[in-house]
Structure 1
Amino acid sequence: MSSDTENGLAGCPKSNDSQAYDAGTADSPSAQPQLAFETRAVHAGYNPYEHNGSVSIPIYQSAAFAMHDAVRGDGLSSGEIEGFSYSRCANPTVDALERRLADLEGGVSAVALASGMAAVSFALLCAAEGGGRLIAPKDLYGASVDAMESFFPQFGIHTDFVEDINDIAEVESKITPDTRAVFAESVANPSTNITDIKALADMLHRHGVALIVDNTVPTPYLFRPIEFGADVVVHSTTKGISGHGDALGGVVVDSGNFDWTNGRFPQFTQKELVVSDERKGIWKSFAEAYGNAAFAGRVRIKYLHNLGAVMSPTNAYLQLIGLETLPQRFRRETDTALEIARHLETVPHVTQVNYSGLDSSADKPLADRYFPHGIGPVLSFRLEGDESHINRVVNAVRVFSYVPNIGDTHSLIVNPARITHREVPGDYRRAAGVDDHLLRLSIGLEKPSDLIADLDRVIAGAY
């Protein structure tokens, strides 16, 4: 439970600051500072001595928690007492996942949600609510484009799209007094284009505009956007963080570094009953109540609590287990992805390979700068011919699975134009390099030679 819960909603921690939580006992691994990523992926955010010594986080499969008596119930409701009362906005198993992800991404607080799109939507709506504008590149994941291009405008939130997120002058030219945030993917799906996070953040911060980064493809093992200036990080934890294709989830991580009181974000400075104590005449804003964790606080109290995209404790448990092997899985999967990308460059009928870790990629300098351990397990490639050749490939694979997911231990293949980007308008699809000739791969833990043989067989057979 949080060490700092004043003015929270009933059972909703004010913050899940992992440093505050991880002090532990003298014998607890989390009590030792400067632990490596691999160690923190196993231990961060959880102290077994606070859970009857259970080494594995228990699944708190309970909708609600006993408040004991009226005095404690009132204290939980007002935020004067820390604890859990209702799992819609705080559950001990989910809380442990939130603390671990905040630690691994280098943030001050995190909010776990039911899916990656809940994380994307809540983060963008929280930043832009009240009629703010967003800026984003066209080459995003299909559902993200659909949300910003056709759905958010129904709520008065509009997006200015740019062709190239790394054209800093183009992005800057789109900033208006109503602009609240820029949204980008650290590694785009499926093009694997890399965002120059530091250059973008430096420019945006001069204007008081926030940078929100979807870090799903590389995960915090390969890249931590906050270290380069990102203000909020989102993930579909369904993907590499979970790693086994068995649990949906998402997370919003608050860096704690952005000034949400700079005048562009009135929702953080207006007094609100939900974080105040009316009976005592104490009125606060989210910025006053949550300090540098105001963004995560508002996502939890306004969006998670009111809109209800709740992560189940069982899914949180599965993702905690997945996190424990993230470094080992991603090392292997990323190495294999590069090997396969290099091989595909030599295969007849393959006209283009998209993988920014290749020497032939225009983004190789950015890959070298930001991704010294590789860009992740996702790549895409284009075949000559027509859509019938794509269909023959996906119909014939045996080691790859035809599945619309990424980051799994199983290797996956999909045709984005018909599946993951089907709802995206044509010019956005073209910007993302998606057409009827494109296939996307997500590389798992199988032996590389078996994956290569499967691809060679089905590509040759398609012609």
Structure 2
Amino acid sequence: MRCGPPLGAARSASGPCEWWSCPGGSGSLRCASGCGRPIGQPRILSSSVGFTPRRRSADVTSSTRSQHMTGQQGFETRQIHAGAAPDPTTGSRATPIYQTTSYVFRDTEHAANLFGLAELGNIYTRIMNPTQDVFEQRVAALEGGIGALATSSGQAAQTIALLNLAEDGGHIVSSASLYGGTYNQLHYTFPKLGVEVSFVDDPDDLDAWRAAIRPNTRAFYGESIGNPKGDVFDFEGVSAVAHEHGIPLVIDNTLASPYLVRPLEHGADIVTHSATKFLGGHGTTIGGVIVDGGTFDYEASGRFDNFTQPDPSYHGLVFSQLPPELFPARYILKARLQYQRDLGAAISPFNAFLLLQGIETLSLRMERHSANALAVAQWLEARDEVEWVAYPGLESSRWHERAQRYLPNGQGAIVAFGIEGGAPAGQKFIDSLELFSLLANVGDVRSLAIHPASTTHQQLTEAEQASTGVTPGLVRLSIGLESVDDLLADLDAGFRAAKGA
């Protein structure tokens, strides 16, 4: 939190103290940073909101120590500790659920400062919440980003992430190898909002990405592992084309999770997740998250007047000109203060808490998901009833070499295959499964199965389905954590039943 002039105001010649001086208080002890927070009050802000508080060297809170410590430690440690510290009031080790709509202001001046952005702090849970803040910090730490924004769902994260860039007549170039709901959103809904989208049918064709660029192109978009095609995105190749033309690369990392690949390390600028899937991992909780890598220069690009021109909704604030030492995650700040504020796609504190519980075991689950999926994929390849198998961990996969480079810890849980007999055989196969659940989700500890052509991709034309990798006989499996022998036995029963289709 900061006392002082409005955000973006020129720094006074008197030095940094000008930024941090606070008027005298009621006599109670206050945080040494000058933010006015009573000592012992739960911490409510972090860099994940787009703001980095500057502290005196002696003012290192337990939360700050936690951030510094976990930044130097391994993934397995960060997935448990990043962003969290024991609650200073109660000593609670688990992150509390701050189940509240709003927050008490110290006085009218404090309230006015918060609404005018002279200070940053909790106003309303639609915009930010302390439980949500821990979740955002943790995902940002795991992805290697500088800030994050949690949303009510993966679709909401994707919507805000892209509109934050392409609003007001922008253009997006996207891989066509996408989850059906994403393809539908980009192809049909975004044009209704004034944003055009061009699809690259072969995401490995860098010339196709280059040819699709327009003067108003403001984002490249793709999935780290295509759903359900199983193609592995060429992060370095596509990001090089994007950056050559001053365009950021946005990657949906849902199917891989940051344990298997961190796109920001390979050229991506922004990452999104449906946290509902592998981050949560248990099929209980809807949520999404956006992570800012902090690497893209909106001023230098020349394509982003929405970042470089005054924002009338904040009295002429220019997001790209905010002091980087105070506001490193300016992309996230803009997304939070404009789109989260006005569209209201907020995650609930309880859902943020549940997702934190899931993340604590992410590495363990992804290892087992990947091991089970590879075993299932290899078993399917040997079946006479199977025409083809799509799984990047297979040596026969077109993307196997790329998967070994980008996904050395495993290639995820999603296995797709074509069954002899087409759609009728695929549907009969799924209807005969008992251990696998037929439902529209992935990333659960339980194994799941679905027939995409008649469900998740049903709204697409046959040609559009083909461009996303969906064929009439395709069956998509999300392999869970059960005994692989039990999974194979259930699949075998399904094949025997499908022979009569």
Post-superposition offset of 1:388: 2.0
For 1:391, which of 423, 427, 431 is the aligned residue?
Answer: 427
Give 1:293's aligned residue: 329
- Equivalent residue runs for 1:72-87 within 5 Å: 72-87=110-125
Q: Aligned partners of 1:48, 1:5: CA distance in 2, in Å?
A: 33
8 Å contact from structure 2 (residues 46, 53) kept in 1: no
Q: Aligned partners of 1:365, 1:187: CA distance in 2, in Å?
A: 14
Give 1:336's aligned residue: 372
Give 2:448's aligned residue: 412
Give 1:166's aligned residue: 204
Whichever residue aligns with residue 63 of structure 1, its letter is T
For 2:146, which of 108, 125, 137 is the aligned residue?
Answer: 108
Q: Aligned partners of 1:133, 1:351: CA distance in 2, in Å?
A: 38
- Equivalent residue runs for 1:280-429 within 5 Å: 283-289=316-322, 291=324, 292-429=328-465
Q: Aligned partners of 1:118, 1:66: CA distance in 2, in Å?
A: 28
Whichever residue aligns with residue 347 of structure 2, its letter is M
Give 2:28's aligned residue: none
Q: Deviations over 1:258-313 (max 9, x none)?
A: 0112210110011124444xxxxxx4211123744221112111111101111000
8 Å contact from structure 1 (residues 392, 462) kept in 2: yes
Give 1:237's aligned residue: 275
Whichever residue aligns with residue 287 of structure 2, its letter is G
For 1:442, which of 473, 478, 482 is the aligned residue?
Answer: 478
For 1:228, which of 249, 263, 266 is the aligned residue?
Answer: 266
Secondary structure in structure 2 of the residue aligned to 1:169: helix
Post-superposition offset of 1:105: 0.6
Q: Aligned partners of 1:402, 1:183: CA distance in 2, in Å?
A: 29
Whichever residue aligns with residue 305 of structure 2, its letter is P
Post-superposition offset of 1:12: 8.8
| Residue 495 of structure 2 corresponds to residue 459 of structure 1 | yes
Identity %: 38
Post-superposition offset of 1:450: 0.3
Give 1:280's aligned residue: none
Post-superposition offset of 1:195: 0.7
- Equivalent residue runs for 1:263-282 within 5 Å: 263-276=302-315
175-184 vs 421-430, which moves further = 421-430
Post-superposition offset of 1:176: 1.7
185-194 vs 73-82, which moves further = 73-82
Secondary structure in structure 2 of the residue aligned to 1:164: coil
For 2:134, which of 86, 96, 112 is the aligned residue?
Answer: 96
Q: Deviations over 1:24-75 (max 9, x none)?
A: 4399554425100000000001122445322111111111111132122122
Q: Aligned partners of 2:128, 2:88: CA distance in 1, in Å?
A: 17
Q: Aligned partners of 1:352, 1:441: CA distance in 2, in Å?
A: 14
8 Å contact from structure 2 (residues 2, 118) kept in 1: no
8 Å contact from structure 2 (residues 63, 84) kept in 1: no
Give 1:57's aligned residue: 95
For 1:25, which of 62, 65, 75 is the aligned residue?
Answer: 62
Give 1:69's aligned residue: 107
- TM-score after normalising by structure 1: 0.93
Secondary structure in structure 2 of the residue aligned to 1:251: strand
Q: Aligned partners of 1:237, 1:90: CA distance in 2, in Å?
A: 17
User: Cα 1:69–1:98, aligned 2, differ >3 Å: closer, same or farther?
Assistant: same
Q: Aligned partners of 1:304, 1:75: CA distance in 2, in Å?
A: 20
User: Cα 1:128–1:340, aligned 2, differ >3 Å: closer, same or farther?
Assistant: same
Whichever residue aligns with residue 413 of structure 2, its letter is P
User: Cα 1:5–1:390, aligned 2, differ >3 Å: closer, same or farther?
Assistant: farther
User: Cα 1:194–1:21, aligned 2, differ >3 Å: closer, same or farther?
Assistant: farther
> 5+ unaligned residues in a row in structure 1: which ranges?
277-282
For 1:249, which of 265, 287, 290 is the aligned residue?
Answer: 287
The aligned length equals 455
Q: Aligned partners of 2:444, 2:53: CA distance in 1, in Å?
A: 32
Q: Aligned partners of 2:399, 2:336: CA distance in 1, in Å?
A: 36
Secondary structure in structure 2 of the residue aligned to 1:61: coil
Secondary structure in structure 2 of the residue aligned to 1:417: helix
> 5+ unaligned residues in a row in structure 2: which ranges?
9-43
214-223 vs 49-58, which moves further = 49-58
Whichever residue aligns with residue 25 of structure 1, its letter is S
Q: Aligned partners of 1:19, 1:85: CA distance in 2, in Å?
A: 18
Q: Aligned partners of 1:269, 1:18: CA distance in 2, in Å?
A: 18
| Residue 296 of structure 2 corresponds to residue 258 of structure 1 | yes
Q: Aligned partners of 1:83, 1:50: CA distance in 2, in Å?
A: 18
| Residue 162 of structure 2 corresponds to residue 129 of structure 1 | no
User: Cα 1:119–1:88, aligned 2, differ >3 Å: closer, same or farther?
Assistant: same
User: Cα 1:51–1:229, aligned 2, differ >3 Å: closer, same or farther?
Assistant: farther
User: Cα 1:186–1:21, aligned 2, differ >3 Å: closer, same or farther?
Assistant: farther
Q: Aligned partners of 1:21, 1:193: CA distance in 2, in Å?
A: 43
Whichever residue aligns with residue 322 of structure 2, its letter is A
- TM-score after normalising by structure 2: 0.86
Post-superposition offset of 1:19: 8.5
| Residue 53 of structure 2 corresponds to residue 16 of structure 1 | no
Whichever residue aligns with residue 176 of structure 1, its letter is R
